[in-house]
Structure 1
């Protein structure tokens, strides 16, 4: 399930990068920040779960 979420986030990031040409910076920068924060949270949760032996 987590791999599907990661693929969806990367797909959304790709769509945003394609749309960033047509979006103003006021819309694209916050969207990129939200995606980046989500990926950081995801990475931290994955690292904590593997450190404690959960799969």
Structure 2
């Protein structure tokens, strides 16, 4: 759960900085956060199945 909170906090920081950083960097950071959340969701789903 703490990982999810950290991911959302990081997402908020990145979204707040979007006006100051270039678009390609924003897209890369957004993709990284999305992958992190996807990995988290898969791990949680497989953990509950076992």
Q: How many residues align?
A: 50
Based on CA coordinates, which of the two structures has the bigger radius of gyration? 1
Please identify runs of 4+ aligned residues in structure 1 that moved more than 4 A: none
CA deviations over 1:33-55 (Å, ceiling 9, x no partner): 00000100000000000011xxx
TM-score (normalizing by structure 2):
0.93
Q: Are 1:14 and 2:12 an aligned pair?
A: yes
TM-score (normalizing by structure 1):
0.86
